Amino acid sequence: MSPETTLDKPTTPLFDPETFDRYVMKTYGRFPIALTKGKGCRVWDDRGREYLDFVAGIATCTLGHAHPTLVSAVTQQIQTLHHVSNLYYIPPQGDLAQWLVEHSCADRAFFCNSGAEANEGAIKLVRKYAHTVRNLENPVILTAKASFHGRTMATITATGQPKYQKNFSPLVPGFVYVPYNDIEALEATIAELDAEKPQVAAILLEALQGEGGVRPGDLDYFQRVRQLCDEKGILLVLDEVQVGVGRTGKLWGYENLGIEPDVFTCAKGLGGGIPIGALLCKSACDVLSPGEHASTFGGNPFACAVALAVCQTVERENLAENARDRGEQLRTGLQAIAADYPDLIAEVRGWGLINGLVLKEESSLSSIDIVKAAMELGLLLVPAGPKVVRFVPPLIVSESEIDRAIEMVREAIASVV
């Protein structure tokens, strides 16, 4: 154990899961550990056991845990002004918006609290644009099968996975699903919907499907989608909630695809673990007026000051480049493991530091089996569906930590096989 990981280890657990479950709704299937401390890419449970964290709050803790810049930003802003209403100008909000606009294809930003809220805002923007600019009576938004856009009613409807929609009907109308990376299916769907009169208002896609199995977007597909949108006046909306802010090895996921969206959303990594979401758009579709959309907590001084510190650190410390290099290292190591288990592992895929180890469908093992085995060894991973193990460590992860994670994955697979 390195010197930085020496913490006081309690002799008995500090946490009682039975008491927790007595008072908290059981909306999560929790693993049987209680995390209480973190530093860098490592976390500790209530027993003092150390884990290498390749979950990072599910692609959220951009700077890892207890990063000095994050600690400083949190401390300074909470001692100054943490919340006021958007009835007034909020300087940190303007500063964050300026940074995001100057480092992306967007012209305007709206702030909220989460990725789901950012996507809700995008859906509202699309519908107003459809009604007021294109005069569409019943606008339709196309989304991809196996996508994930959030847990609100509109965003689970936008999510092309029936398992998230079960028992929550009636769903929100106005969404049609198409296969991801299938341009022929997309063109056929648009032709069918627009046969009598235009209906398709927007195409909402992830640059890389995260919850859907870590599926990167195809370059040719997305370039044709951009062309179709330009030809037909359709808005292209990209959900960057999981892949934005450097995770893919570039600042934004769309940069891997050689296109620019009209609208995109981000959250997760934007605040480095402090809740914040953002809806960004080009000026041509900046149609929301005062009173039409709002968020009580969105864009408050605290969240924006922290998010700006995260963004500036990503830029200053070249963390997108680190994500690219460490991602290549991780994929190389996982591919070597895959070569040793050809009957178990189908492929390794991803960009930067969002990667998936894909198990063969016919395998008797699931992603949960490997996640649990890795956890026993001190490595935290997360599933992305029943057959994909997801790797999303903090962007500060080191070469030695990647090497250690690869060793642990190999040992975990050996233990379950």
The residues assigned a catalytic role are 148, 239, 268
**DSSP state string for 156-197:** HHHSB-HHHHTT-PSPPSSEEEE-TT-HHHHHHHHHHHTSSS
Q: Cis peptide leading into 198, omega within 30 of 0?
A: no
Beta partners for residue 38, in sequence order: 43
* Integer CA distances (angstroms), 90 to 185, 250, 287, 288, 367, in order: 45, 29, 21, 19, 44
Q: Hey, what are 160's tokens?
A: 């092309």
For residue 123, which of 180, 224, 201, 226 has the smallest C-alpha distance? 201
User: Amino acid identity of 266?
Assistant: C
Q: What is the DSSP-derived secondary structure letter of residue 137?
A: S
Q: Are 85 and 298 in contact (CB under 8 A)?
A: no
* DSSP assignment of 359-413: EPTT-S--HHHHHHHHHHHTEE-EESSTTEEEE---TT--HHHHHHHHHHHHHHH
* Cα–Cα distance, 120 to 62 (Å, whole number): 24
Tell me the chain's radius of gyration from C-alpha atoms.
Answer: 22
Q: Report the first-to-last Cα separation within the chain, whole angstroms.
A: 28
The helix (H) or strand (E) run that includes residue 112 is strand 108-112
